[in-house]
Amino acid sequence: MLYLASQSPRRRELLGRLGLPFGLIDLDVPEQRAPGEPAEDYVRRVAREKAGAGLLQVMGNPTAVVLGSDTEVVLDDEVFGKPRDAADAAAMLRRLSGRTHQVISAVSLVSPSRELQTVSISDVSFAALTQAQIEAYLAGDQWQGKAGAYAIQGFAESFITRLSGSYSGVMGLPVHETAALLRQFGLEPVPTVATP
């Protein structure tokens, strides 16, 4: 039985695209980067900790496979977490404006007997943003709860001049890499029938 250890509706949607039934595990794992910890190592560690914490909740199920994932925006080795408030979000967007940053998305898959992990790193280039554009964007709520103060599947997509990597990885779960991990656990993704 596959479980997703995440509260993210985006991850639920993306994993759902692979056509496998899965249960949800609601957990809250602290996301605190250790001093001197490389950004990629931090993202990998948080994904592993989420999967491990999820597995502890379903240990009574010997066939449980738990997926944990973490996605972070990184610029100049600084990890941009979720903004505390609109002022913090504005500061993040000003830093990202006119620059190329990385989005690191790690996926851990664990069962009682094995663990596998993969990581997707995408380069995302933002156009130069005016103060008026930033203020107009912050007037809505799409920046709230989003790493780097933006979601690629929302209005902020209009800020992006170039993407090299995984669109779904920037959303929060790299679908291609996730499908490959699932296959290694004997879980074969299946196309779903679209409803008209």
DSSP the chain: -EEEE---HHHHHHHHTTT--EEEE-------PPTT--HHHHHHHHHHHHHHHHHHHTTT-TT-EEEEEEEEEEETTEEE---SSHHHHHHHHHHHTTSEEEEEEEEEEE-SS-EEEEEEEEEEEEPPPPHHHHHHHHTSSTTTT-GGG--TTSGGGGGEEEEES-HHHHHT--HHHHHHHHHHTT----PPPPP-
Active site residue 77: no
Strand partners, 24: 4
Catalytic residue among 41, 70, 77, 88: 70
Q: Known catalytic residues?
A: 70
